[in-house]
Structure 1
Amino acid sequence: MNQLDRYDRLLLAQLQRDSRQTVQQLATAVGLSSTPCWKRVKELEASGVIRGYTALVDREKVGLALCVLAELNLTRHHEDDVRRFEAAVADCPQIVSCYATTGQADYVIKVLVPDIKGYEAFLHETAFKLPGVTHVRSSVVLKEVKAQSGLPFEAAVPAPAPAPKRR
């Protein structure tokens, strides 16, 4: 897919707000008729811009009251060690986000568990056993001030238009 235009951005913003809207509702919201709207959504899906659809679940209401951000350091940064670590993280359901970072930590993970005892168990049974981990620094989240899953399209800078060709 080439560059996103105004209608693509409006459609994406609408789908992030509520992905259960009908094509007609989307079309009305962005100022298109149904067929071009449907075609654009299908193109956004086919190109991988839209990776899927999901439900937002309140973690506390399903028993995952404790959120912890943990910084991890690895002993070595050889390709095999990193690959093994990242595969183990991907297989761990309590780790819902993992970022390779610059600075003091090699990785920052977001862990969701029922309570502090659950996190202690996670540390001993999982985190300390992850391949190559030498250090874990944990920060318990007291309150989520902002937890947004949608992308801020209004903050995105559109790619510049190609310069006109000289004759």
Structure 2
Amino acid sequence: MEALDPLDYKILEILQVNNMASQREIGNTIGLSAPAVQRRIVRMREMGVIKKDIAVLDPEHLGQLITIVVQVEMETDKVELVTKTKRKFEQTPQVQQCYYVTGEADFILIMVVHNMKEYETLTHELFFNNPGIQRFKSSICMDIVKSGLSLPVPKSDK
């Protein structure tokens, strides 16, 4: 895998804030030509550094969505059950983020639903009807103070 250089990291920082920034704007900001920026972006997509370009929606404009953090404990660590559970979480649109973690819980889920009835239905589908899950614990978010959409990129000394 080809290494990223400081200019690549600067491009990534800009794209994480605004992936609609033109290559000319990016180039002017970091001191490269637009074609050079384009080549670097294409290369980083091919390398898998840039996984996808998405639109980040404002939940305030989509109705009153409820964000729920769920800790899930598995009954067992059998690989096939864990793999099946991961796949189910991946395929559920209301599961916005899923982390397989160490500690008391095995999974931490960030879920978004329209109402508590929808969440109740999901608890049956995802947790109660899954023989591999021992218990789950839900925390309802009162306010989203920060939602991370960008990753920190290494800083260059140059």
What's the TM-score, normalizing by structure 1?
Answer: 0.86
CA shift, 1:144, in A, is 0.8
Q: Which position in structure 1 is the counterpart of 2:85? A: 85
Larger Rg: 1
CA shift, 1:136, in A, is 0.5
After superposition, where does 1:122-137 map in structure 2 within 5 Å? 122-137=122-137
When structure 1 is superposed on structure 2, of 94-103 and 57-66 the one drifting more is: 57-66
**Deviation per residue, 1:41-88 (Å, 9 max, x gap):** 111111110111000101242235100000001111111111111111
Kindly indicate whether the alpha-carbon contact (under 8 Å) linking 2:72 and 2:106 is maintained by their aligned counterparts in 1: yes
Extract unaligned runs of 5+ from structure 1: 159-167
**Deviation per residue, 1:113-166 (Å, 9 max, x gap):** 01223222221333322351110111111111111201122xx377xxxxxxxx
Q: Which position in structure 2 is the counterpart of 1:145? A: 145
CA RMSD of aligned residues (A): 1.7
Kindly indicate whether the alpha-carbon contact (under 8 Å) linking 2:6 and 2:155 is maintained by their aligned counterparts in 1: no
Runs of 4+ in 1 over 3 A off after TM superposition: none
SS of aligned partner of 1:138: strand
Q: Which position in structure 2 is the counterpart of 1:34? A: 34
- Percent identity among equivalent residues? 27
Paired positions, count: 156
Q: Which position in structure 2 is the counterpart of 1:76? A: 76
CA distance in 2, matches of 1:60, 1:2: 41
Q: Which position in structure 1 is the counterpart of 2:53? A: 53
SS of aligned partner of 2:61: helix
Q: Which position in structure 2 is the counterpart of 1:113? A: 113
Kindly indicate whether the alpha-carbon contact (under 8 Å) linking 1:64 and 1:112 is maintained by their aligned counterparts in 2: no
Q: Go from structure 1 to structure 2 and tell me whether the alpha carbon gap of 1:19 and 1:49 turns closer, same or farther (over 3 Å shift).
A: same
CA distance in 1, matches of 2:122, 2:81: 21
SS of aligned partner of 1:82: helix
Q: Which position in structure 2 is the counterpart of 1:95? A: 95
CA distance in 2, matches of 1:83, 1:49: 25
What's the TM-score, normalizing by structure 2?
Answer: 0.90
